[in-house]
Amino acid sequence: MNWIKVANGLPEFEQRVLVLIDNDKRVKNLIMIGQREMWKTEGQNWVIEDDENWPGDCVTHWTPLPEVPED
């Protein structure tokens, strides 16, 4: 799995990806599913699934979701 630093590129809007969250005050290296949304204007436009309390600027890296198994 190759992680992409947000400073080096961002996924398409509404593309579900794995995100790495690093917030010095709360947690380091938390992996969740998120996506960027055009309508969201704060941070880097990220919406984190199941926990919208994370500000978008806590996302430091992202990577595409792995393929679903076929069997």
Residue 41 pLDDT: 57
**For strand 4-5 and strand 17-23, is the pairing parallel, antiparallel, or unpaired?**
unpaired
Q: What is the DSSP string of 27-43?
A: EEEEEEEEEE-TT--ST
Rounded Cα distance between 61 and 21, Å, is: 8
Which residue reads 């080096």 in tokens?
8
Please state, as a whole number, how many other Cβ atoms lie within 10 Å of the Cβ of residue 44.
16
Tokens at residue 20, please? 């790495």
Give tens-digit pLDDT for 11-56: 999 999 999 988 766 677 889 999 988 875 555 678 888 776 666 6
To the question of pTM greater than 0.85 for the whole model, the response is no
